[in-house]
Amino acid sequence: MAKPVLVVGSINMDLVGRCHHMPEPGQTIHGSGFLMTPGGKGANQAATVAKLGGSCRMVGRVGADLFGERTRENLSSFGVDTSFIRTDNEAATGVALILVDDAGENSIVVIRGANWSIGPEEVRAARAAIRQSCCVMAQLEIPMAAVGVLAETCWELNVPFILDPAPVPDGPIPEQVLRKTSILTPNEQETKAMVGTDVGTVDEAFAAGRKLRELGVGTAIVKLGARGSVIVGEIEEFVASKKVAAVDSTAAGDVFVGAIAVGLSEGLSIAQAVKFGSFAAALSVTRMGAQSSIPTRSELDRFIADMEL
């Protein structure tokens, strides 16, 4: 039986509005739909692991409010172990305000709420769970202090640490974190912020991935949106995205990373896991919402079979 994946990260309620095009500053436009659905990059990744058949534990915080109850219950319904999710009696559950246009592109404002109260104490409380995990995942919707202790703990326990450096951090990611990161999964904007150069082409993505490795990262997986991703580690490989009719790309990056963790937990190579992740992300963008867009394992297996015919 595969070891569990541990996710340390954000838990939000997403308030999603559909519109024909993104409004200009100061402009009011009519929307075409509304959806309230649990999200947060950490919770999205945990839900992905569980819905794709992996064993998953989640470390995080929610407020003592309705959104906190619903997000926790939603994760539990997928089979995520929520025993490490604490209730914050001072801060509200995190919220994301999301606009999605007819092209499937999105614009997001995140109110951190209880997510920003996650600290080193949560990581230390989960040390035994970290030791038992096949890998540990984190994002940057929680304080860097918690991420730093998490990276250090994974390094001490020889557990692979996967960091999704999203959203773009306000300042540089500490060197001691990068040197303890087994897999880094930035998108184009995050990569540019870290290496200082544009990532507009596949060749530029490979060059940026090499710079990330020089900073100490074990393997860099640079996400290029609809084009695909590049792997820069012991191997260098471009993995093309699967072509689908996109409806909503809100959680595609989270689904991609969560699926990679599932693949690795099942013994896939990094290249095989990234290809698995690209299929999962492609299927997710054909649906609205964050966790509501994540496929089950049976759905994904059918999608992969159909795409490979």
Residue pLDDT, tens place only, 135-191: 999 999 999 999 999 999 999 999 999 999 998 888 899 999 999 999 999 999 999
Annotated catalytic residue 254: yes
Tokens of 265: 């937990």
Q: What are the angstrom distances between the C-alpha of 292 and each of 25, 125, 295?
A: 30, 30, 8
Q: What is the pLDDT of residues 283-298, one digit of tens each?
A: 999 988 788 899 999 9
How, if at all, do strands 135-139 and 94-100 pair? unpaired
pLDDT the model gives residue 219: 98
Contact predicate 266/259, CB 8 Å: no
Candidate list 14, 88, 248, 254, residue with the active-site label = 254
pLDDT the model gives residue 105: 81
pLDDT the model gives residue 1: 63
Contact predicate 300/52, CB 8 Å: yes
Q: What is the pLDDT of residues 121-150, one digit of tens each?
A: 999 999 999 999 999 999 999 999 999 999
Q: Does residue 255 surpass a pLDDT of 70?
A: yes
pLDDT the model gives residue 262: 98
Contact predicate 39/251, CB 8 Å: yes
Domain ranges of the chain: 5-303
pLDDT the model gives residue 9: 97
Q: Does residue 250 surpass a pLDDT of 80?
A: no
Contact predicate 263/272, CB 8 Å: yes
Mean pLDDT, residues 222-236 taken together: 95
Pick the CATH number of 5-303 from 3.90.1150.10, 3.40.50.970, 3.40.1190.20, 1.10.10.10: 3.40.1190.20
Mean pLDDT, residues 95-124 taken together: 91
The pTM is what? 0.92
Mean pLDDT, residues 216-228 taken together: 95
Q: How confident is the model at residue 309 (pLDDT cuts 50, 70, 90)?
A: low
Other residues' Cβ atoms within 10 Å of the Cβ of residue 4? 20
Q: What is the pLDDT of residues 264-274, one digit of tens each?
A: 999 999 999 99
Mean pLDDT, residues 40-60 taken together: 97
Q: What are phi and psi of 207, to 5 degrees?
A: -65, -40
Mean pLDDT, residues 52-77 taken together: 97
